[in-house]
A and B are shown apart, each in its own frame.
Chain A
Amino acid sequence: MTTLYIDDKEVTVPANTSILEACRMHGVDVPYFCYHPELKVAANCRMCLVEVEGWPKPAASCCTPVAEDMRVRTQTETLKKDRKMVMEYLLIHHPLDCPVCDQGGDCKLQDYSVEHGASQGRYVEPKRRTEDKNLGPFITTCMTRCIHCTRCVRFAEEVAGTGDMGVLNRGDHMRIDSIVEDTLRSELAGNLAELCPVGALLDKPSNDVSRPWELERHHSTCIQCPHGCDVIIESRGDEVIRIKHDPEGAEAWICDRGRYVYDAFRSDDRLLVPAVRKQGELLACDWNEALTRARELLKDKKVGIIFSPSWSLEGLTSIRLLHDAVMNEAKVAFDLHRRDMRPFAFEEGLSMSTAEIEAADEVVILGSDLRQRLPILMQRLRRRVANGKALTRIGAMNYRTNTSPGKDALIRPRDWPAVIARAMEQLKDVGKGSPAMEAWLERVPARHEAGKLLADALMAERCAVLVGEEIRAHEDAAALIHGIDLLMRSAGHGEAGDDGRNLIPEGMNAQVLSAVFGDIRTGVGELLQAAEAGELDALMLVGSDPLGDGLFSMQARRVLRQVPLVQVGAIGGQIAEFADVQLPAAAYSEIEGTFVNMEGRVRIADKPLRSIGEERPLWKVMMRLTQELGADDVPAVSLDELRQKAAVFMPELADVFAGKKGAEWRMPTARNRNARCLPSGVEPAMALDIVSRFSMYREGAWARASGLLREAGQLFALPDVLVHPHTLRQLGLEEGECVIRTASGEITHHVGTREDVAEGVLFVAKRGGAGDLSTETSASLRGV
């Protein structure tokens, strides 16, 4: 620690802190533009100058480390003049267009101009001419306003990892440019608008729509991926204008999916009124009529319920209460991506926080497209690599992560048992075998060298294993996860709170789902199979869209054609055409509610927007339906009551709701210590493994309802079916139309190539003609 004096006040800060950070820690206001806590220091704006006693010149506080007994002055006459001059320099070429600039009212330059600037500039020479840039669908530019702080350049380099912004030219010809004259290819692009201290880079979709001071800010939790980032929803009245990063949140950025999904809030796909189908047409009606029709379809019937995991904890609990009260026999499922329903040795959810993962000695990604699925975690891992720390990745594709993990292996899903077995052998060789391991190994004759990377990483003191969708969706997932658990135990990672076992969930609230539905859940595949076999009278989809998401689209389409459907949700989407009744539930922006993210962090939203139609919070819809279906008592009539009921499943929640757990408390993930699943030994039927590709711009009903995300999805799309060029060559085929055969039939489709896909893998998008391929696990290719 270092003790110094800032404006005669004694302060103590960690050694090597910069003066600016010391000032910020102690509430001393030093103005700055280029400094950003998440970016490397550039020290170029020169606004943060301070004086240090005994130094001949003022010092830039952002790049000057504190020293013992240093005496810093932040408010002197010279500094006032210096700041005034920096403002004058910056405003030389800056237009006076605050009244038409979206940044106006929320602008560092404007604020400092009032605080530190002169009332009039003295520059009368010709002004600089600039050209605006095309930075893609999310960022609009007005480069005359640029003050060259290079925050955006550093962001592209250090955070996005794309490095596609830079500085050209020198002196006052200097300009920020997108080096390749191309759009910014980043899933984090939206942060640029927030990052830019002036109005040079602005949010394109919300540009010229509102003024900052008209907007109300609502703290909320993003549900677009399991990360559950803290966000601020900005609204004018009841209209969502944009979503921004919450500066008080746990992460430094939010991704474009979580940000631009707001377009869905006002889309035509929103369910805003109840509706029933009459003569083949969905017609708006009142709640009573819709509920009556729902009752006819559901009461005393054999029902299947598939719901989305991203409802609030209260909403999810209300589904369970509905089940227990009036639909005891109903089959309940929620995970559209799980084929193997046997219990997993460690269930979905992270045992570590993202910060702990970033700091671990070793991190291993096992089969996950983190950049698309968890872009903010990927960003942390990118930073980890930039700081020289190890990252190991084993999986079917390198997933264009904009970073180079030191250790990388491309494998097919069918190789996972051999990979794990290879790792087990290595541990055995150093005397860390176990009888359970022997039993597991006995079932797997093959060995895959990628296992060495896994075993090597596991030898570290703290190793974070991130198990992704390639394993979670595997037909033999329980055996693979058991195998990984055995490996971790042998390597000394005994079970503890943050023991490195991280199974990346598909959606939010994984821990809640384990606790509330663990005993009654069934697989989506099983449920749809029962429906197809005529064992179900009706289907209720609660926010779930099995046509667009998950691994069961083909079965779901067949079922929806034959079984009556009650749709409950906030987005109609493609499910609407099958719905017999629609009950509108409120969007996540419109409810008070509790959300648990993959780390188990709990967030309570308590300042919702008002509903814009007749939609109601899911729990109210569920309770009303319970009543309609003949319950004598409605299980909960208030949010408080509902939370008490939720605490029955999760006793720690009582403390959470009583405010006795801090913001850092994390709900533990479920473990199944006795789940001993051995590899099946069953080889896939066909030569190529199918890996379903996740697109952050396309997956999820919300994303599909957002025109902005659709546009980005098209812009950044890869061919729908991808294989390694070697795979095609071995089959004597060329890039282009091919016949793809699976257990469910043949389709002819364009097959593209990429060298970063594992050989022997068919990497497929969930859309268009290739959409249903995700329902299968293996395929073969031949020429047309």
Chain B
Amino acid sequence: MPKKLLLEHIDVPSIETFETYRRHGGYASVEKALKTMTPDAVTEEVKKSGLRGRGGAGFPAGLKWSFLDRKSEKPRYLVCNADESEPGTFKDRYLMEKIPHLLIEGMITASYALGAKTSYIYIRGEYMYIVRILERAIEEAYAAGFLGQHILGTPYSLDLYVHPGAGAYICGEETALLESLEGKRGNPRLKPPFPAVAGLYAAPTVVNNVETIAAVVSIVNGGGDEYAKVGLGKSTGTKLISASGHINKPGVYEIELGLPVEEFIFSDEYCGGIWKGRKLKAVVAGGSSVPILPAHLILKTAKGEQRLMTYESLADGGFISGTMLGSGGFIVMDETACIVRNLWTFSRFYHHESCGQCSPCREGTGWMEKVLHRIEHGHGHMHDIDLLVDVAKKIEGNTICPLGDAAAWPVASAIRHFREEFEYHVKYPEKVANPKHFELEPFRSERLELSNA
């Protein structure tokens, strides 16, 4: 059986209630941390675990915690980033909806480590029904003495609140999230100062993703060294993967990092293979922002090695032939998918979600959307393809926050790996007039057919 550190009890009936959760070992990490460990000892375990931020950036969580300004006289805050909005990602929603106490428990243990007396869960507004699930769980935790004054009779006190957003992908960027939590537009802040020094209300703040905070529970329970034994190399632990698109079994899967990509896609334990008996065409492995890879490059690296579900293996080859683990939003496309149309929906998304603060992103995302619309609908020119590459290049690295990069990478990679498909749209407008063009007849590379002839 593959190791389950987060979802072990997910299918237990009524696991969303405090009582059942507690009966299955819930809140043990709070007891252990508050009664037997110093806050710094908890941070030390998280460092040892090698846990990397599960929101997408993959920054070592323990290191992030260690940056927190502990000398400041201001209160410290822990803010959970539950603004899950990266297309292809729905793991945090699954976790919060099914086993809300795991997040609450992680919040308490992590808040203790950081010395936070007030913590917030910032959740995207569209998940309003989950706000109610979390609030119910928090009420239960207060009633059982795990939140509020003098938790379990110790000197430590904590208040925990849920704060809904109102529809803005950008609020998943941690400084935009803090702006939003302060009741403002979600415009990312210039860094430095980093939130660890001047975050919420200009006080020292740590912002962590839902899954990162939930992982703290098993790290404290079993110890950082034990956690680090799970996974492969620097990709320690387990990861929630949101699998979507043209597969037989879409859903959220907890995998041990190091699983071969091929097994993840084709094994019945996970995605169950490509639907309708079709062939695999491409995968976006870590949420819409990461480079798309064609079938041969997602299954094997350019060097011919088996591609694994780890931060390192997915990134092997850099952006020339690799991608990123990102948020674990694993979007699979079969041979009937149109790469151009899929990309157009992504560019429309980034244009819609750009906060408008930086010109390259505000203007560039709009241009990319319009040019892609033109190509997809058979009105494009050959030079449009290089125009897209040029616009993407001018956005990348030239904005305050990573949304610009996130908008540029999918465009650059789709053209890098599927240029001929873009050219086809320009050459044969009549063949792409039907929006379902490749469902009628999958795209076949003329170049490949010529070289095989």
Are the chains A and B members of one assembly?
no
Chain B residues within 8 Å of A, Cβ to Cβ:
none
